Amino acid sequence: MKIYILPTKTLLQSPGQPFKYPAHNKDYGVEQDFYKYITEQNGLTTNDPKEADWHYLPVFWTRWHLNHDYGKNGVELLQEEVNKMIIDDKKTFTICQYDDGPLVDIGETTQFLAARKGKEGIDIPVLCSPHRYPFFTPRKKYLASFVGRLSTNNIRKLMAKELSKTKDVFIVDGNKGSSFFVKNTLRSYIALCPRGYGGSSFRLFESMQLRVVPLVIGDLDIRPFKKFIDWDTVSLYTNNVKNIEKIMFSNPLKKLVEMGDKAKDLYEKELAYGKWCKYVLLELEQCKK
C-alpha cells in the first residue's frame, strides 16, 4: 500500500491551541501523532498521487476549530482550503479528534474519529499524556469510581443517579485535578467511562494506562479497532445504565485485577502514542478489499 500526503498549508497545521485538555496534557494529540508516524515510515509514502492507494488529508482539525472559537468562525476559509487540497475524496482519509468532526464538507473522505457521535467514521483512540503515578500506589478501596464532569452528557447524569445508592462506588462531579483523578482511579477495580459530548472519553485510555478496567457506557461502542483487538478481555461495555450494577458485580475482583493488567499491557503495546497508528493502515487495507 502506498499513501500520498496531500500538500498542506501551514495555517492548517497550527503549532498550538489556546488551551490543553485534559489539563495535564501536553499540546499534542492523535492528529499530530499520526502525522508524525506516517512521515517517519520508510517506503509507505509516495510523491505521486496517481501511484497512491490512499491520499492522506493531514489537517489539524482540533487546533483549527479551537483557534477559531470552537468552529464558530473560520469554517468558510477552512472549506476553501480543503477544496483545493482534495484530489479524489473516495481515496482520501483523515484523522480527526474534534468532537464535532471536521465541520466542513469533505465528500466521501474516510474519517478516522476519536470521538464519533454517529454511525459514520472509524473509531481511533482519544489519547492524552500519561499521568504520573504516585510514589506509593493506593490500595483498592472502591469497586468502581468516576471523577469528572457529569454535565457533558445525560448518560453521565443517569449513571450517577443509578449508582447513587450502590455501595463501593465513588462518584465526584467536577475536575479535581490530575492527582485526585489518578489516586481515586487507582483505588478502584473499575473505572466508569461514560461517553461525554463526543462519543468517546479520554478516561477509557487513561484507566487502561493506570491498570484499571474501563467500563464503557454509551449509546455507541467506540472501542477502536474491534476487528483486530479483543476488547472483552480488557474492558466492559453497556449501552444501558440499568445494566451497570449487574455488570460490575458479575465480575470477581480477581478477574478484574487480571483484566486491569491486560488492559495496561494492551495500552502500552498497541494503543499509546505512536502504537495505534498501525491499525489505521490495517483498516485502510480492509477498506480497499
- Could you read off the pLDDT of 34-70 as tens digits, one per residue? 999 999 999 999 999 999 999 999 999 999 999 999 9
| Residue 41 shares a structural domain with residue 91 | yes
Cell of 55: 491520499
Tens of pLDDT along 233-266? Answer: 999 999 999 999 999 999 999 999 999 999 999 9
| Residue 56 shares a structural domain with residue 156 | no
| Residue 105 shares a structural domain with residue 203 | no
137 in any annotated domain: no
168 in any annotated domain: yes
* CATH at 217: 3.40.50.2000
| Secondary structure (3-state) at 108 | coil
As a whole number of angstroms, the distance between CA 141 and CA 40 comes to: 44
Q: How many domains does the chain have?
A: 2
pTM equals 0.96
Which structural domain, as residue segments, surrounds residue 33?
Answer: 3-128+273-288
Tens of pLDDT along 13-29? Answer: 999 999 888 989 999 99
Amino acid sitting at position 4 = Y
- The CA-CA-CA angle for residues 109, 115, 116, to 5°, reads 55
261 in any annotated domain: yes
Tens of pLDDT along 105-163? Answer: 999 999 999 999 999 999 999 999 999 989 899 999 999 999 999 999 999 999 999 99
| Residue 206 shares a structural domain with residue 256 | yes
174 in any annotated domain: yes
As a whole number of angstroms, the distance between CA 30 and CA 179 comes to: 23
* pLDDT value, residue 288: 74
| Residue 123 shares a structural domain with residue 156 | no
As a whole number of angstroms, the distance between CA 47 and CA 220 comes to: 38
Cell of 84: 483545493
| Residue 43 shares a structural domain with residue 99 | yes
Cell of 67: 483557534
Average pLDDT, the chain: 96
9 in any annotated domain: yes
Distance of CA 174 to the CA centre of its chain: 20
As a whole number of angstroms, the distance between CA 28 and CA 171 comes to: 29
191 in any annotated domain: yes
- Specify whether the CB–CB gap between 212 and 192 falls below 8 A: no
29 in any annotated domain: yes
| Residue 184 shares a structural domain with residue 281 | no
Residue given cell 482511579 in the structure block: 185
18 in any annotated domain: yes
| Residue 112 shares a structural domain with residue 214 | no
| Residue 201 shares a structural domain with residue 244 | yes
